[in-house]
Structure 1
């Protein structure tokens, strides 16, 4: 039987038409990354294993097939008292595999474990108009499970709970993040549990059990609002389950949500595009009509749904009035940037192939002090804390890269830092190494986006509040305060400069460095001449710590400039894969790869060769990030000359 499971219910709540495409290998699915690695990176496996320790004596239903799991669960539930992990419960063609189900006589307690952090002093679940958007998916998830179990056991008293990491609590012991290790050396993944985990009380485990009843009631009161209509939970479950079982496509209810559809294939992809099928059906378009830009492509515009409700589909149909066009006083305004995307480059910029605000960028560059320092951080948020006194999901800064550009244009990879040894809390060592690197000169320091500033503020707070802060904390605090916003040497955000001073049509308005770098490589003669030769990391070339004789500029058989990030991925082995993402999500996606690698180094039993390989990948990827920043500046300097 084709069951509507809780994961498929959540998918249908995003868009019911996705049920047509999910699980079908002929369709492109950009979310089909390694779910094991994702769980490792976001702390899901740790939180899940820790949760089991709070329900001692639990029996795990290990059968993966639905029929076998249902039979095993039914047999175990014949007991008067039993705790089950991953039991299978079905009602008609609805099926759930609950995280935890506790039976005591006629009572059933359902527990859904979430790796998302939660602060019980500030729940942020319900607003004036009902469930908040961020909370809706996991509340509707537990509501669906609650409905299935109540329907399957109408004579039982069912209570439902959500179990979260509680970020309002502090760890009471060191090395919590090392309680669970994994071993993938055999045919099945094995979790190696530290005996200390079995001794933790709920409070010590930093997990909070939330009674979901009032929020489930909201779902039943307000219904499930999905593209195509709002239905009661039973109606939605019935409608979606029947469509999925019969493999009947539900109507294509297109809208602004389509911008994030994972079933979107690029033109020329060997796999089908569910996104394209929906838009062809809803708009009665041909394949050829799909190639023109749509309103979904418009950068940083929140009025897409409103315009779509008015019948607007094409990007070219958007007017200056729609975007409230207003010229910027110093550099491009957001609406000016949007209009460049809609209307194209002004005549005087068409020959160059890009727009560059000479006055704005020149005035900004006049304030720069050489040598220029380009820095990039790799970070993670760790579910279980490293040390006593830390909270779940505190940020961990485990890596940076640092390029230096002199006034004469010479460039070098000056320094780097990586601390990913299991159980080693890196933040203070990170700050110390960054201080050593940037204290070698008094030049301007550059970042790309706000992330680096956020991380330094967090490390500052740790240095100021922790009892175990290092002896040199005052020196580190004084140094970091110079770099953050408002400091004497505050980092300069190149992404903000790109947003206000640079536009290339191929970026579609995005300011992600993963978009801007290929754009400047396409138009810059300087970059072509400098980086087409294998001089990066070569003797008498550009000094590098992780590359030897690398040529970053190259063209494919069609003459198109190749993306250096794709070139780096292709040079790596299959464990470092390209993440497909859109616009501003690109930076997050790339950072996610580093987080996954860091999580493996922390929690997986790896041989020395694999560990060394992952570290080498991290070092190369981070170095490319700061090199990319330098390349963008070189291209801008060339344009200004």
Structure 2
């Protein structure tokens, strides 16, 4: 094990998911998507919320710490202890360290014999729902409504705070035993029940990514957030809520510290107990080899069973087979089996999932595509013109304009490929907002103009319906008057539990009517397109598709891997998945690429092109799949 040995809040979360992962993490094993696009988006929101929190405490003192050695850990903790001897002090990211347990509180506020630990989170909170639960059910927003215990996604956050409080209690007991301090834990969170009073709030923040990183476990590692607005306006705004979690934390301190000590003992004693048994949960293991490091945690755990093909972990909804208590996969592992073909067909008796599972096993054995008997009829019923649409959206923690709530749906880009009639080429149209304003109504109006009321609209999954539904209700909330748009939205999207959507979901069609062995148990666009593309050479000859063909070392690349990379500044950038598109858009809105001068406008244009080419491919991917389905169905007939 590397030294010094310590257990951070994130280490504790890792260990709870799998103790073996803690072992790999401490040894620095490589991971797949260590910081993926979606995590970066959430982090961006957390950076800005943290910056706002710091603005609310202008007298705060930042504890700078480089925590590479045991000595540096002790010194940083001693600095925190020294400040706590003052009557009144506000600390940003004080270091809490005791007996190998390490945490950095976001904000610590000491006033006399009372100390607040404030955890800043960008997770949406609903103060009205919280108050109603307290008043009418003697519960809280953080508790399970059935059991009354701290639960759900909030449990991990509150455990983080409980860990901090527990370490601080131990520090005080050792170093300041005569100091009587009441510790009051709080969350500072964006409140869905409130709106901001500041117009274009996001425009006052700029995130700068720094090239140097410090080993400090700071939320601002490698990041600087600049604020150019009016601090007094921030102080008056009701966008964030500070909420007490004292009773919830008190409930979790003891079990959290007990768990932490168990994991620490594993690390210190190098105990074999740290190695958890392999199970169905390993499917999501991120500890896989990389181009730079061939250590593979998953393979190390699974041994020869890791190389079995087709693997049982790739079976559709495999974790549900056998039930939650006795999953079949775990029993197979105990028997030394990991092949999908080892699954007894008679146990596939769940009406919801078994048909798809049986299709996958049968056609994986045959190594051929499958289309249902119904698919040809379904395709014939699709009316022209056919519009293939895809939206890029973002739910940003910072509201766009005064009167908006946090995490409201923001639709910033759409792409559409239209086939006017059989055998006609696919014509592409697109729209992208770069005006740093709330774009939803202009988004919907431009889309309505292209789609009109004729033909069929195809999507992949239900996201597009959800976006159009949200815009319909936003028109009412914000008093946006356009009767034609309101009627079109009502006639196009399913608005509630009743009613019918006029959007045809190709993902649902895939799940019921199409399978390809290379898709394995997945039906996302990023899985279906490469499977079809790599095994049907005729598609590469179609003029509209030729730009996406590339072969490297005898392997045909997925069209998403062919999207051009661009040199933007000192970095090579590419947008080839949805989270990356959201991240690029947020960077354009309040990142380093915002407000670029005339001399650097080319950089902004490059980011625009990355967004255009990705969204454009999503709708072209649907066209490719559609064309292939038509060919398969014609052959069946």
Q: Same fold (TM over 0.5)?
A: yes
In 1: Cα distance, 2:341 partner to 2:182 partner: 57
1:449-470 CA-partner distances (Å, limit 9, x unpaired): 0100001100001001213x2x
Alignment match, 1:432: 445
**Residues 1:163 and 2:197 aligned together:** no
In 2: Cα distance, 1:103 partner to 1:2 partner: 29
Alignment match, 1:200: 234
**Residues 1:403 and 2:417 aligned together:** yes
Structure-2 change in CA distance of 1:411 and 1:622 (3 Å):
same
Structure-2 change in CA distance of 1:625 and 1:309 (3 Å):
closer
- Higher mean C-alpha deviation, range 317-326 or range 131-140: 317-326
Alignment match, 1:317: 342
Q: Is the contact made by 1:404 and 1:414 (CA closer than 8 Å) also made in structure 2?
A: yes
Question: Secondary structure, in 3 states, of the residue corresponding to 1:121?
Answer: helix
Q: Give how far 1:310 is off.
A: 5.8
Alignment counterpart, residue 291 of structure 1, candidates 308, 331, 343: 308
Alignment match, 1:527: 539
1:234-313 matched pairs, under 5 angstroms: 234-245=257-268, 250-265=274-289, 271-280=294-303, 286=304, 290-303=307-320, 306-308=326-328, 311-313=331-333
Alignment match, 1:150: 169
- Higher mean C-alpha deviation, range 449-458 or range 146-155: 146-155
Q: Give how far 1:593 is off.
A: 0.6
Question: Secondary structure, in 3 states, of the residue corresponding to 1:311?
Answer: helix
Structure-2 change in CA distance of 1:133 and 1:256 (3 Å):
farther
Q: From the two aligned structures, give the one with the greater helix fraction.
A: 2
* TM-score, normalised via structure 1 length: 0.83
In 1: Cα distance, 2:400 partner to 2:430 partner: 23
**What are the ranges of 5 or more consecutive residues in structure 1 without an aligned counterpart?**
222-231, 281-285, 327-332, 537-541, 543-549, 580-589
Alignment match, 1:80: 87
In 2: Cα distance, 1:164 partner to 1:371 partner: 47
In 2: Cα distance, 1:61 partner to 1:364 partner: 64
* TM-score, normalised via structure 2 length: 0.84
**Residues 1:210 and 2:205 aligned together:** no
RMSD, aligned α-carbons? 2.8
Structure-2 change in CA distance of 1:413 and 1:49 (3 Å):
farther
Alignment match, 2:581: 594
Q: Give how far 1:26 is off.
A: 4.6
**Residues 1:510 and 2:504 aligned together:** no
Structure-2 change in CA distance of 1:197 and 1:261 (3 Å):
farther
Structure-2 change in CA distance of 1:29 and 1:148 (3 Å):
farther
Structure-2 change in CA distance of 1:461 and 1:99 (3 Å):
same
Alignment match, 1:481: 490
Alignment match, 2:129: 122
Q: Is the contact made by 2:195 and 2:238 (CA closer than 8 Å) also made in structure 1?
A: no
Structure-2 change in CA distance of 1:216 and 1:88 (3 Å):
same
**Residues 1:360 and 2:374 aligned together:** yes
Alignment match, 1:566: 561
In 2: Cα distance, 1:572 partner to 1:259 partner: 35
Structure-2 change in CA distance of 1:455 and 1:578 (3 Å):
closer
Question: Secondary structure, in 3 states, of the residue corresponding to 1:430?
Answer: helix
Q: Give how far 1:577 is off.
A: 5.4
